[in-house]
Structure formats: structure tokens, C-alpha cells
Amino acid sequence: MSTLVILVLIILLIGGGGYYGHRSYGTTGLGGVLGLALVVVLVLWLLGALGGSPIRV
């Protein structure tokens, strides 16, 4: 499961992709509203707010 999370983070961080608004396009990869929503959900899940086990440092 942690491998899947790492792969998703790499995909999200490497590419912006999509139409950002204000006439600017990102690079290849996930982006726009979908990328932002996935990042927010991933952070909430990692913090344990979505029922997952929180990460202990």
C-alpha cells in the first residue's frame, strides 16, 4: 500500500498537466482541479482524517 501512495505522490509532483486557468497550461501529468483534489484527499488520508491509520513520525 505504501508503494502505491509513493507512486501517486511521484505522479502528482512531477507533472502539473491540464488547464490551470488564466490561459496557462501545465506540463504533462495529472493536474488542474483533479490533481488538487487528489492531493487534498491523500493528505487527509495520511493524517487519519478519512479513517486511515495516521502516520506516526
Domain range summary for the chain, segments of one domain joined by +: 2-46
Residue 1 has pLDDT above 70, yes or no: no
Q: Which has more pLDDT, 27 or 5?
A: 5
Name which of 3-7, 12-16, 33-37, 45-49 the model is least confident about. Answer: 12-16
Q: What is the largest CA-CA distance in the chain?
A: 41
Per-residue pLDDT of 35-49, as tens digits, reads: 677 777 777 777 777
Please give the model's pTM, rounded to 2 decimal places.
0.41
* Average pLDDT in the chain: 66
pLDDT for residue 46: 76
